[in-house]
Structure 1
Amino acid sequence: MKLKLKKLSILILFITISTTAVRAQESFVTEVNYPYLDKLIATAKKNYPEIKVRQAQVNAAKATLTQSKVMWLDAFTGSYIYSPRNSLNLANPTFFNGYQVSISVNLGTLLSKPFATRVAHENVNIAQYQQQQYNLSVEASVKRLYFAYLEAQADLRNRARAVTDGEIAVKQLKYTFQKGETTFHDYNEALTSLYNQSSFKVQSELAMLTSKANLEEILGVKLEEVK
């Protein structure tokens, strides 16, 4: 009778574990919320400091490009001389009176400006490409961290159910042990299993909190603030 009862208990435990694993797997898939994931990605791109650094680099490159387009005027140097009409300069006589304007051109500087502008334009492209690349990297990181967080939640639910099932099993075995229908060995094994499941649950809680903290690090805000 005891052997049959033990086999029946093992069968029930196996079915319970299998059902729990299936429920955990299904819940992980069904709980992936892609619209919410898009909000997480948008939040990370808005708040993560490195994203702001990349945008600042793009702005700086654009400013340098604008500056290079204006600096072609550096090749030209203007000067003027003023000679009063009613004055006579015997040491350095001039044939013109009033204002005299002269403009000189530095050919080396003038010819180098198109190349400087081209370099500045390419620097803008590089900054924009780097920004796009980092945006893709942030998007992928948010997805990985979000999926890891959902996985940790599913695992924690699985561990919590295992603890609940273990508590029920211990309670039943305690009752049958007190009636002399179960050996102390079986009862002690159930207690040990419950202790192990409780330890696994604590580890799952830590993993869930860690995955949440990792996700919030890249978001820049608490997960609860993303609606």
Structure 2
Amino acid sequence: MRTYCLTTTLLLCLLSFIPARSQESLVGDIDRDLLTKYIALARQNFPRVKSFHAREEKARSMVTTAQMSWFDMFNAGYYYRPETSTGSGTTTGGGVTPNGQLITSGFLFGATINLGSLLSKPSLVKAAKADYKAAVADNAEYDIMLANDVRSRYYDYLAARKQLVIRNLSAQNLKGIANDAQAKYEKGSIPLDVYTISKNAATEAAAQALGAEVTYLKAKDALEDLIGAKLETVK
């Protein structure tokens, strides 16, 4: 009985040791140059980036439109009355309408200024410039947020990849232990409880490996969606 307990204890220690032995730091897996390429691709391909750039360009054009609208307050025109012919010859100069209004012949020029428009233009131009500055600031802020999002998803991807390696290694090792325990159990070398523990551990490790694979695929897809390219194509 003492031998069985000792065997069980050693097996449990071995099972808990396998995953821990495979743990490694992620820092060594980080490729800064590759991460920089991912950020550049996200800035180039992510649809919302184009939306922010379009808003900035629109705000810039509104500043130009507001500045050019200074000319809208001025109105100029002319009136032309040609010389009239009468039976006795050509009449130049002016004339009188039936209502007694004096009419001159030739060109008349005039200009008007809209005082209300004149007073409102400075504030309109100032508002357009403020909107442009806000659009530029929003664009810069989103650029920082996008870069941080790429970094976060890249680190999640590395962690998921590392975890997948660990889980696969653990599943392989525990499968080997379970197979060995089965052979020993069939020979009567170990009791049923030890064999059951090893078998259950192998089954659990296989399930964890499958879950780690799903997590890895999701992390990979999330990063690829952000940068707009497959990771295999980025070197």
Task: Determine if the TM-score, normalized by the shorter chain, exceeds 0.5.
Answer: yes
Deviates more, 1:3-12 or 1:82-91: 3-12
User: How far apart, CA to CA, are the structure 2 residues paired with 1:201 and 1:12?
Assistant: 18
Is the radius of gyration larger for structure 1 or structure 2? Answer: 2
Q: Is the 8 A contact 1:149 1:212 kept in 2?
A: yes
**In the aligned structure 2, how far is the partner of 1:30 from the partner of 1:190?**
33
The answer to whether the aligner puts 1:56 opposite 2:50 as a matched pair is no
Local SS of the residue matching 2:109: strand
How many Å separate the matches in 1 of 2:13 and 2:197? 16
TM-score normalised by length of structure 2? 0.86
Partner of 1:105: 113
Shift of 1:59: 0.5
1:117-136 correspondence to structure 2 within 5 Å: 117-136=125-144
Q: Are residues 13 and 203 of structure 1, via their aligned partners in 2, closer, same or farther at CA, if it must alter by over 3 Å?
A: closer
Please tell me the residue identity of whatever aligns with 2:95: N
Select which of 16, 20, 24 maps to 2:22. 20
Q: Take 2:46 and 2:77, find their aligned partners in 1: how far apart are those partners? A: 52
Q: 1 or 2, which has the higher strand percentage? A: 2
Whether 1:93 aligns to 2:95 is no
How many residue pairs align between the two structures? 222
Is the 8 Å Cα contact of residues 63 and 125 (structure 2) preserved in structure 1?
yes
Contiguous gaps of at least 5 residues in structure 2: 84-90
1:94-149 superposed Cα distances (whole Å, 9 cap, x missing partner): 45x43221111111111211111111001000001111111111111111111111
The 5 A counterparts of 1:62-101 are 62-85=60-83, 86-87=91-92, 88-91=94-97, 92-94=101-103, 97-101=105-109
Residue aligned with 2:102, SS: coil
- TM-score, with normalisation over the residues of structure 1? 0.89
Asked if structure 1 preserves the Cα contact closer than 8 Å seen for 2:7 and 2:194, the reply is no
5+ long unaligned stretches in structure 1: none
Other-structure match for 2:146: 138
CA RMSD of the aligned region, Å?
Answer: 1.9
Q: Percent identity?
A: 24
Equivalent position of 1:209 in the other structure = 217
Shift of 1:14: 4.5
- Give the CA deviation at 1:9: 4.1
Higher helix share: 1
In structure 1, give the amino acid aligned to 2:96: L
